[in-house]
């Protein structure tokens, strides 16, 4: 007989013994024994993700600076600073994505 309660505990009645196991514990054990999920792969994926975020932020900053220059909305100093920071973000993001090797 199987019963699932609200606190995610499964009771299984097998003969005269009752086994209780927590679903989160089972999922945690599966991640521990999964050999493809290592610290090195997590670090590489984190670098690639951060590189993609930096690239997108750089693109957004370059678009903002470009629109500001075309419309003559903001001061030149502000647009130059935003443009330089956007270029820095863009190229550092591209270099992180390009230089991080896939180890699948």
| DSSP letter string, 9-57 | EEEEEETTEEEEEEHHHHHHHHHHH-TT--HHHHHHHHHHHHHHHHHHH
User: What confidence score (pLDDT) does residue 18 get?
Assistant: 46
Q: CB–CB of 58/93 below 8 Å?
A: yes
Please list the rounded mean pLDDT of every run of 10 residues in the chain (104 residues).
Answer: 52 50 57 57 79 94 92 85 95 91 67
Strand partners, 21: 10
Residue 32's pLDDT is 57
Site of tokens 């521990």? 32
pLDDT for 59 equals: 96
Antiparallel, parallel or unpaired: β 2-4 and 17-22: unpaired
CB 58 within 8 A of CB 87: yes
pLDDT of residue 37: 52
Phi-psi bin for 15: left (phi > 0), alpha (psi -120 to 50), beta? left
């Amino acid at each position: 007989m199987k019963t699932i309660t609200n606190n995610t505990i499964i009771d299984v009645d097998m003969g005269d013994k009752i086994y209780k196991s927590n679903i989160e514990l089972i999922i945690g054990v599966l991640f521990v024994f999964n050999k493809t999920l290592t610290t090195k792969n997590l670090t590489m994926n984190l670098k690639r993700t951060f590189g993609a975020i930096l690239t997108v932020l750089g693109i957004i900053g370059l678009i903002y600076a470009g629109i500001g220059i075309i419309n003559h909305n903001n001061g030149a100093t502000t647009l130059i600073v935003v443009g330089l920071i956007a270029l820095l973000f863009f190229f550092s993001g591209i270099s992180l994505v390009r230089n991080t090797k896939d180890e699948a």
